[in-house]
């Protein structure tokens, strides 16, 4: 099937990407080139993709900022762990001319839990359950590696406002990839069995 081919292809790309993503978790280096040399222990790399406790995602990124200064720190950290982004508003960073946009919660703003708010034409994923920000959104077809934007091992709820289904996969490198779940369209999942496990997304179009 179509999927079999994709899985094989994903496996190759994901294996390389995992090395970079794991390295970023340790020292948040500015570039992928320096990331490779920053990894000192192969054992740490092996465990970094497993559970929520060892994801390496800085906790500052996963919650609402308490002040404007903290929001600025979040934006700076986002751009550091995933170079190439442009800040497009107080709480948003855009990558690749808007193909991926990450939105952080504004400090002081009441967080409306339980409201899936993905705009039409996009599929969204949230760092917290019940659609809690920060939120990432994509619209491109095909397989994409969340490591590109520092979003591996973070997704805790999802919302799909595209016309296609969206699959979430884990990188099981070196053994390829592992299917986790599908976010059918239109639809939302306020919590996930595979919390903080998704590494790759695939919009079926």
Q: Which chain residues interact with Ca ion by CB under 5 A?
A: 127, 154, 156, 196
DSSP helix, strand, coil percent of the chain (3-state; round to 5):
35, 25, 40
- Cβ atoms of residues 89 and 72 within 8 Å: no
Minimum Å gap between C-beta 124 and Ca ion is: 14
Instruction: Find residue 157's DSSP bridge partners.
Output: 126
Q: How far is the CB of 156 from Ca ion (least distance, A)?
A: 4
Of residues 156 and 183, the one with the C-beta less far from Ca ion:
156
* C-beta closer to Ca ion: residue 37 or 191: 191
CB of 132 to Ca ion, least distance (A): 8
Q: Which residue, 34 or 51, is less far from Ca ion as judged by CB?
A: 51
In whole angstroms, how close is the CB of 63 to Ca ion at the nearest point? 10
CB nearer Ca ion, residue 103 or residue 156: 156
Contacting residues for 96 by C-beta, under 8 A, at least 6 apart? 84
Q: How far apart are CA 73 and CA 128, in angstroms?
A: 19
């Amino acid at each position: 099937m179509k999927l079999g081919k994709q899985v094989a292809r994903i496996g190759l790309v994901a294996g390389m990407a995992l090395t970079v993503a794991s390295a970023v978790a340790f020292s948040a280096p500015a570039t992928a080139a320096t990331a490779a040399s920053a990894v000192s222990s192969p054992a740490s790399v092996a465990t970094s993709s497993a559970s929520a406790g060892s994801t390496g995602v800085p906790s500052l990124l996963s919650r609402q900022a308490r002040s404007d200064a903290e929001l600025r720190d979040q934006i700076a950290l986002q751009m550091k762990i995933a170079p190439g982004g442009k800040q497009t508003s107080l709480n948003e960073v855009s990558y690749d001319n808007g193909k991926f946009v990450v939105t952080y919660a504004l400090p002081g703003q009441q967080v409306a839990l339980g409201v899936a708010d993905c705009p039409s034409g996009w599929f969204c994923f949230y760092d917290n359950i019940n659609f809690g920000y920060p939120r990432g959104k994509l619209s491109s077809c095909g397989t994409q590696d969340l490591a590109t934007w520092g979003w591996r091992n973070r997704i805790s709820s999802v919302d799909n406002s595209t016309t296609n289904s969206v699959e979430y996969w884990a990188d099981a490198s070196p053994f390829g990839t592992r299917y986790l779940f599908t976010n059918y369209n239109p639809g939302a999942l306020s919590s996930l069995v595979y919390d903080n496990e998704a590494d790759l997304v695939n919009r079926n179009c």
